[in-house]
Structure 1
Amino acid sequence: MINIAIFASGSGTNAEAIMRHFEGSTRGRVALLLSNREDAYALKRAEGFGVPTAVFTREEFGEPGGRVASLLQEHGIDFIVLAGFLWLVPHYLTDAYAGRIVNIHPALLPKFGGRGMYGDRVHRAVIEAGERESGITIHWVNERYDSGDTIFQATVAVDADDTAETLAAKIHVLEHRHFPTVIEETIAGLPPIDTKQNTK
């Protein structure tokens, strides 16, 4: 059984879809939800599923062998999912969990990615650029924003009358439909890791 940690900064609709999906899975379980915001509604959603939660500061996130690393070790985390998490992941985590951290982006990378490109900012940029389609990109996480190799993409049409809000609604449908399934497929056959050695 692969222990999954979700990092979330906001409302947590993707986190909820993932937690619901893995309730009955034999491949993995959500063992921890971490947030950089104490007011993130994702924390409440996790509590509803009985998933342990914690909030961390930027200093704690950036410190090798610090609190975040300790939490991952304590919960035996084998795989990390970024679900609406906005901070750049530090090197000690991308190294320790190489090939074991995934993110979802609400556009078709490599377009409309990078620092500051999240949420409605992405959807407005897509519409303003006159794109005829958008979608989701699930990708590996490395030391740069939105630049890891693509695992999966799904598309949706951008209609002439779409707004950032209506396009966001279409994207959310894709996210909730595909993200949990792609995570499960990605962890299939993945061995647990020795987190006691992995995040120091």
Structure 2
Amino acid sequence: MHNFPAINDRPVRLGVLISGGGSTLLNFLDCIRDGSLNAEVPLVIASQADCRGVQRARDAGLECVPIVRRDFASLADFSDAVFERLKAAEVDLVTMAGYLSLLRIPDEFLGRVLNIHPSLIPAFCGKGMFGDRVHKAVVARGVKVSGCTVHFADNEYDHGPVILQRSIDLPEAVSADEVGRLVFEQEKIAYPEAIRRVASGRLKIDERRTIYS
């Protein structure tokens, strides 16, 4: 059993990884501004140079560095480049915020990388299940409840220990777009809370389980 050391004397330094519009990043910044999340964002890394989130991050005055998988000969080289930048920025936690590139997480970062998934893991998760694909699968299956999961990332898709989940009852005849909007409202609450729990030092990891006390 192990846990992340408490950070209560300064803001938590977040490295934020994005692939799209940066909505989760903007939510972090809103929470930082309103005082509900004691954090700062010294570095944003984008998996695509032209994704909308790059400009949004820069408009917010943040350093945003595109690191693109196709520019590297191997997954190992790509992952090394990402984590070397994160180490240089002295981040405490790495938050995958709609990040779609596969990474190999080095041992020193295990237990320090968080991901959010737009379903209640283990439902509707795994390789190829992300974004609208998840919400379309939810609608096609006709489930009555969906939600989001924040978990520690490891080197398997949607596999690491779950930190917290938030659920919602779905309306009848709901569309995938509406599911996405409803779930994102829960993500806006869940991800900052997960960061607070980890930074508190009170969240312990016991194999595949987390214990928060």
TM-score class, shorter-chain normalisation, is 0.7 to 0.9
Q: Which runs of 5+ in 1 are unaligned?
A: 191-200
CA displacement 1:66-97 (0-9 Å, x = unmatched):
432331122111210001001222142xx121
- SS at the partner of 2:184? helix
Letter of the 1:6 partner, please give it: V
Counterparts of 1:89-104 in structure 2 under 5 Å? 89-92=103-106, 95-104=107-116
TM-score (norm 2): 0.81
- Letter matched to residue 31 of structure 2: H
The answer for the alignment partner of 2:154 in structure 1 is 142
Judged with a 3 Å threshold, the aligned counterparts in structure 2 of structure 1 residues 124 and 89 are, in CA distance, closer, same or farther, namely: same
Please give the secondary structure, in 1, of the residue aligned with 2:30.
helix
Q: State whether structure 2 residue 28 is matched by structure 1 residue 18.
A: yes
> Is the 1:5–1:77 contact (alpha carbons within 8 Å) kept by the matching residues of 2?
yes
Evaluate the alpha carbon distance shift between residue 64 and residue 83 of structure 1 in structure 2; reply closer, same or farther with a 3 A threshold.
closer
Aligned CA distance change for structure 1 residues 157 and 65 (closer, same or farther; 3 Å): closer
Distance 1:122 1:49 in 2: 30
After TM superposition, list the pairs within 5 Å mapping 1:51-130 onto structure 2: 51-58=62-69, 59=72, 62-63=76-77, 66-92=80-106, 95-130=107-142
**Structure 1 CA distance, aligned partners of 2:80 and 2:117?**
28
Contact 1:27 1:187 in 2 (8 A): no
Higher mean displacement: 25-34 or 135-144: 25-34
Pick closer, same or farther for the CA change 1:65–1:161 going to 2, 3 Å: closer
C-alpha contact 1:126 1:134 (8 A) present in aligned 2: yes
Q: Any gaps of 5 or more consecutive residues in structure 2?
A: 1-9, 203-213
Give the match for residue 45 of structure 1: 56
What SS class does the counterpart of residue 63 from structure 1 fall into?
A: helix
Cα contact 2:37–2:196 (8 A) shared by 1: no
Give the deviation of 1:65 after TM superposition: 8.3
Q: Name the CA shift for 1:184/1:49 in 2 (closer, same or farther; >3 Å).
A: farther
Decide which moves more: 23-32 or 42-51.
Answer: 23-32
* C-alpha distance 25-32 of structure 1, shift in aligned 2 (>3 A): farther
* Match status 1:175 vs 2:206: no
Structure 2: distance between partners of 1:57 and 1:7: 12
Percent identity over the alignment is 29
The one of 164, 183, 187 aligned to 1:152: 164
**Residues 97 and 91 of structure 1, relative CA distance in 2, 3 Å threshold:** closer
Q: Distance in 1 between matches of 2:37 and 2:144?
A: 39
In 1, Cα distance between the equivalents of 2:62 and 2:75?
20
Contact 1:120-1:164 within 8 A present in 2 as well: yes
Of 155, 158, 176, the match for 1:164: 176
TM-score by length of 1: 0.86
- 3-state DSSP of counterpart to 2:115: strand
Instruction: Tell me the secondary structure at the aligned position of residue 143 of structure 1.
Output: coil
| Whole-angstrom distance in 1 between the partners of 2:21 and 2:102 | 19
Decide which moves more: 69-78 or 113-122: 69-78
RMSD: 2.1
Cα separation, 1, equivalents of 2:78 and 2:101? 16
